[in-house]
Amino acid sequence: MAIFSFLSRQERVSGQPDWSFQDDAVSKLVKDFSGNPLLKTLLIIPTGGGKTVAAIRAISKLIDKGTLDANHRALWIVHTEALQDQAIDERDNTDNAIRFRFNKSLSPILEVHMKTRAANIINSPERQNYKLLIIDEAHHSRAATYASFFGIRIGILGLTATPTRSDSAVLEFDNVAYSISFKELMDRGVVLLPTFESVYTNIVIRARSLGVFDNDRDLDLFNIEARNEIIANEIFRRSKQCKKVLVFVGTNKHALNLYKTLNSYNQRFEKPYGHVGYIYGGDHNEKNISNKDYLDEHRTLGSSILVNCKLLNEGYNDPSLDTIVMATPTSSILYYLQCVGRVVRRNHGAAASHDVYVIEIADKLPNVKYHIDNRWLFADISDYLEPDVSEKLFVDYEDFLISTKVLFRENRIDTSFARAIPQEEDLTEASLLLFNEAPDSSDSLWKPIFITRDNRGRYVDLFNKIGNNIEIFYSQNFDYLLKKFNVPADDFYFNSRPFRASFFMALKRAYDRKTSRQKVDCLKYITFTRMRLGWWQRLLRRIVRLFGLA
């Protein structure tokens, strides 16, 4: 892990950040809504990529074009005060207005309201004054409280870091206007790649679920004093490099107890941290002030440890944070990405980077077959069916071909698909989806789908939409579903009936094993990442490959 992080920070991210992808996203949104004002579409940009700014830029352009005006306004809908403050701050930011040439009528035309207030507007005669809805953190949009927004004839733009809702339902949007992966943001230098460190407690915890919400009974099993001592010890022994630490736990009780342990350690070690605190919903914090005032004050601190429970994963931005501690594991890719997203942000125009860290506390979990870790940063597929996710590093195209050859041999991949291996010019954002409807049979071969930037929208979208609802779709006609999801009849992979059948059967097997609490053994997702190495590093890697050491 340490070598991976070293190469990542030293070789992958360099130079001035490239934010040009935002221009593409803005242009696509403006074109789509100009052509179809009733479109319901998604903008998918991982945390740190500036999806809020991109959406506001697009709205300003739509005002410039006359698509939106004082009588046809935009309504930005949020579900937390933190998100409301964030959207208003970006909308009214003077630097943004100058840099992106915001329309002078932007503020009155783009209104930002909490969900309840927005619903009242949409369900009243005022609705005729609005032409576009923007749903912030759109993975929440399948909740019943959002139903009124989708039941009217109006354009909707959903903003999210991932197209999968926390309960894995498919979001109610027509298409994805623009999407970019965390991996590409990292390659562009837009986000910082943390150094990941795993801390193994060797404590047996018999939780049966790692769900984020409505799961206090299981999550509070991690609230053990001996475990809290381990967490405190790991933080304080890193106090010279980890200056401002944000800790995520699963229950309010755990937040309070861990805070007490950390505060005791801070006193014992003569206060290396200027502040140790806790915060959770309902204005609960050790200062007994409003959470908003508490966080405003916390942003000004130079060094601190702040323990929070499911509060700061959305809508919280503190550029001085340098460390995230995942004190409770999770089975939600969305929640994990949101937490890690607190330290990966790089401001527009900032060339300098700083080291950031993610410390993952790992336990023995005999009853949990699947949880999310840092491998998921580079995967853009749904975690609903619990695929095995891994990463392959390569130096050049020859090295990539060697890695692919090894993958074909080790995974018993049908060699007839070797002609689908991407060419060198297609390696940006390359990944490989493998599936096998009967992996325990010696006669059954794994089938591959090589995913590149050009076909990513088709295959990732297909996997996510069908996989997230395979229990419903499995009984339907496969050919009809492929047509419904815009897969052409002559598609390289799906033009074969056995391939189609194997794909659906593998997804169904994954669902059956997941729901019966067995490890999913029929889905694998492999991302490929190019390393930019010096000559001696390339030589060392070739030697390692030659002797089969990697």
The answer on 221 and 244 residing in a single domain is yes
The answer on 164 and 57 residing in a single domain is yes
Residue 377 within any structural domain of the chain: no
User: Percent of the chain, pLDDT > 90?
Assistant: 58
The answer on 171 and 82 residing in a single domain is yes
The number of domains in the chain is: 3
Range(s) of the domain holding residue 524: 388-530
The answer on 452 and 426 residing in a single domain is yes
The answer on 203 and 136 residing in a single domain is no
Q: Compute the average pLDDT of residues 201-207.
A: 96
The answer on 404 and 340 residing in a single domain is no
The answer on 273 and 129 residing in a single domain is no
Quick: pLDDT tens for 88-119.
Answer: 999 999 999 999 999 999 999 999 999 999 99
Given this model, what pLDDT does residue 166 score? 42
Which neighbouring-strand residues pair with 196?
A: 358
Q: Compute the average pLDDT of residues 512-531.
A: 90
Q: Compute the average pLDDT of residues 407-420.
A: 90
Over 60: is that where the pLDDT of 7 sits?
Answer: no
Residue 361 within any structural domain of the chain: yes
Over 90: is that where the pLDDT of 325 sits?
Answer: yes
Given this model, what pLDDT does residue 373 score? 74
Amino acid letter, residue 438: A
**The two three-digit tokens of residue 322, written as one number:** 């340098």
Q: Of 326, 344, 372, which residue is a domain's last? A: 372
Can you tell me whether residue 79 is helix, strand or coil?
coil
Residue 548 within any structural domain of the chain: no
Round to whole Å and give the CA distance between 322 and 301: 13
Q: Of 180, 209, 232, which residue is a domain's last? A: 180
Using alpha carbons, list the distances in angstroms from residue 14 to 10, 192, 358. 8, 10, 20
Residue 164's pLDDT band (cuts 50, 70, 90): low
Q: Compute the average pLDDT of residues 167-193.
A: 77
Over 80: is that where the pLDDT of 542 sits?
Answer: no
Given this model, what pLDDT does residue 352 score? 53
The answer on 212 and 150 residing in a single domain is no
| Most confident listed range (130-144, 236-250, 338-352) | 236-250
Over 60: is that where the pLDDT of 11 sits?
Answer: no
Return the minimum-mean-pLDDT range out of 171-175, 411-415, 486-490. Answer: 171-175
Q: Compute the average pLDDT of residues 370-393.
A: 81
Over 90: is that where the pLDDT of 415 sits?
Answer: no
Over 60: is that where the pLDDT of 444 sits?
Answer: yes
What CATH number does residue 357 fall under?
Answer: 3.40.50.300
CB atoms within 10 A of CB 274: 13
- E strands along 136-185, which residues? 155-160, 175-179
Quick: pLDDT tens for 252-262.
Answer: 999 999 999 99
Given this model, what pLDDT does residue 256 score? 97
